[in-house]
A and B are shown apart, each in its own frame.
Chain A
Amino acid sequence: EDQVTQSPEALRLQEGESSSLNCSYTVSGLRGLFWYRQDPGKGPEFLFTLYSAGEEKEKERLKATLTKKESFLHITAPKPEDSATYLCASETGGGNKLTFGTGTQLKVEL
């Protein structure tokens, strides 16, 4: 059974304090690893898709990386508006089915 585990569950940072969120996956035949941002009471917002180990993608203060066992979401010099829950999800097999982790709740304080 595919499993996606995210850590930490919650993370509190000071503005400007860089850090990384972890997403470990145990799946057979990874087709894609997805990162989403979810604000309270809203649907997930797409951030990145990674397909193969060694791949990296960046968007503003965020950078996602992928290895054969895990993915990291690096946040550089975060701002309070980066506060949200960050979700990762794996896609395996066919049918575009996603298996989500439980997310990391990030809070960035002034």
Chain B
Amino acid sequence: GAVVSQHPSRVICKSGTSVKIECRSLDFQATTMFWYRQFPKQSLMLMATSNEGSKATYEQGVEKDKFLINHASLTLSTLTVTSAHPEDSSFYICSLLQGDGDTQYFGPGTRLTVL
């Protein structure tokens, strides 16, 4: 399957600051990437779909001005959590489609803790 990396793997920040998370496809060009959020003991929730060269599509209830997504190249998508607050503390995971376009391969995730 596809090789996906995320950076950083773990970040701690103060309330009110912004944090950028990178998602990279290491072995092929991905036109579509997805961003998920996972709270403890809960399922993965899709936040947005990131398309290369165009604006991201956000799921209902996800603030697009708070969670900025940039998919500037076929191998990189970034998620910026702006003015982070403690309730934004979560596990953020990206994924991308490969090959037949049906299967999503996930990155290792980024643990965000907002103090």
Residues of chain A touching chain B, judged by Cβ–Cβ distance below 8 Å, are 4, 31-32, 34, 36, 41-46, 49, 87, 89, 91, 95-98, 100-103
Contact = CB atoms under 8 A, between A and B. Distances in A.
The 7 closest A-B pairs by CB, nearest first: A43-B106, A100-B43, A102-B43, A100-B44, A43-B109, A44-B106, A43-B93
Q: Identify which of B93, B103, B104 gathers the most chain A CB atoms within 10 Å of its CB.
A: B104
A46 B105 contact: yes
Contacts of A4: 43
A101 B45 CA distance: 10
Interface of B: 1, 4, 6, 32, 34, 41-46, 49, 57, 91, 93, 95, 97, 101-109, 111
A4 B46 CA distance: 14
8 contacts: A34-B104, A44-B106, A49-B102, A49-B103, A87-B43, A96-B34, A98-B34, A98-B44
Nearest to B107: A43
A98 B46 contact: yes
B46 A97 contact: yes
A102 B42 contact: yes
Contacts of B41: 102
